[in-house]
Structures are given as structure tokens and as C-alpha cells.
Amino acid sequence: MRIRVLGCFGGEAPGFHHPSFLIDEELLLDAGSVTSSLSLEEQARIDHILVTHAHINHTAGLAFLADNVFGCREKPVLVYSLQEVLKDLKDHLFNDILWPDFTRLPSPSSPTLEFMAIPERVPFRIGDYTIRAVRVDHVVEAVGFFVERDGNALLYTGDTGPTDEVWRVARSMQSLKAIITESSFPNRYKAVANASKHLTPDSLREELKKVDPRIPIYIYHVKPQFLKEIAEELQQVTNSPIQLMEEGRSYQV
């Protein structure tokens, strides 16, 4: 699998875009920066989007994508997540107040977006991919996704504080080849990270004790204003091969 980083930061500024990852140019993980990173033609080719949670830095591009591909596709874009996450999107984003309800436009029988509720922990197929959603501990309903193709699997935790179930599943998967997880705040903001259910380098170190230390770890969701500080602190997290993700780069899994 080829993972193209459209955005990987926990804030937005020139050179820093919200999280969105394109797998093999066809499957999107979160949609924070999809419309600011892809051409209109590339956007129109996306058929499937996995959404970890409803926070706007992970979903804003979904609203703009629907607007951009409206009238340009014969089939709706399929958006997958837990029923609770999809309800959050419908109630608070696609509610005809903050943004038009593209699950009913141009018509209920032929919408631009179609929401697909998925079960927890039960594998399902999207084309050549096997997907499994596992709940993580965040301030809103949220999941991480295991994405597997041709015997190689990726774990994208999405946003999470200290959690357990997703790591338990990770330990059981011999096909797991890479993990994308977060480190949002530097260690001195431990209290803020705990309250918002995010990770610091120190808490990340404790989380990574729960998985095979040989698996490559890619860090995303760093707050841009703390990038240098977090990068220095991550150098002390030595139990796994860790690197900060880079926007515009592609990674092979």
C-alpha cells in the first residue's frame, strides 16, 4: 500500500495541513485537507472515505469535497464510520445550517455522499482492502482503522489518549507493518493532553509498550507551534522506530 500524506498536523497554517491520508490514490483516511491538496479531478476519483471521528480538523475537507464533486459523479462517495460518528456529522455538519446536507443532494435517491455505518471490530471489505474499526479513547466517539491489502496491514489510530483495545488488536496481527499515531502536545502540557484525550511524547512512550517494538511508528497530529519541542522529546522515545510524518511525502507499507 502507498500512503500519500495530504496533511498530518494538529493545526493549520501555510505548510501545515489538517489530517488526511490517501491510500493507493483511491481510499481516503480522514478528510481534513483533501480539497486543499488534490486537484478537482483527483477529488472526483475518490469513492471511499474512512472517518475516525467528527472533529472538524478531520472532516472539514469532506464538506468541501461534497461541494466540489457535486454533479461530477454518477455514484455517491461512500463515507464509513461508526453509527455514532455519522450521526455527529449529520447533526452538526451536514445539517442544512452549517453546511448543506449532501446526503440528500441533489436528491435523496441520488445523493453526493452516502453514509455507511460499520460495526466495531468486525472486518469488512472495500474492494481489495480489509478494514476493521476499533474504538479509541477520545473526547468524542472515535475509532482507529486497520487497513490491510495483500497481507500487509496499517493501523491508523486517529486521535486518541491512552487506550487499550486498539493495541490489543494490533498485538494479534502478524500482518501489521506500520502504525500512524499521534503526539499532539509537548510533555509540559500533560494536563491539557489528558483533558482533551491526546498524547504527549511521554504518554506515547507508555502506549508503545503495548505493541511490538519492531513495527515502524509514524507520528501525526503535532501542533505546529510545538513542532520543534515535540520532535526533540520524541527522540527520547526509544522503544520503537519513530519518525514524524512529512506532508507531500508517500510511504510504502
Cα–Cα distance measured from residue 193 to residue 30, given in angstroms and rounded to the nearest whole number: 21
Fold annotation for 124-244: Metallo-beta-lactamase; Chain A (3.60.15)
Q: Mean pLDDT of all residues in the chain?
A: 96
Answer yes or no: same fold for 1-117 and 124-244: yes
Fold annotation for 1-117: Metallo-beta-lactamase; Chain A (3.60.15)
CB 216, CB 178: distance < 8 Å: yes
Cα–Cα distance measured from residue 3 to residue 21, given in angstroms and rounded to the nearest whole number: 6
List, for residues 180-205, the tens digit of each pLDDT value. Answer: 999 999 999 999 999 999 999 999 99
Cα–Cα distance measured from residue 147 to residue 80, given in angstroms and rounded to the nearest whole number: 13
| Domain locations along the chain | 1-117, 124-244
Residue among 116, 158, 114, 152 nearest 134 (CA): 158
pTM exceeds 0.85, yes or no: yes
Q: Assign 88 a pLDDT band (cuts: 50, 70, 90).
A: very high
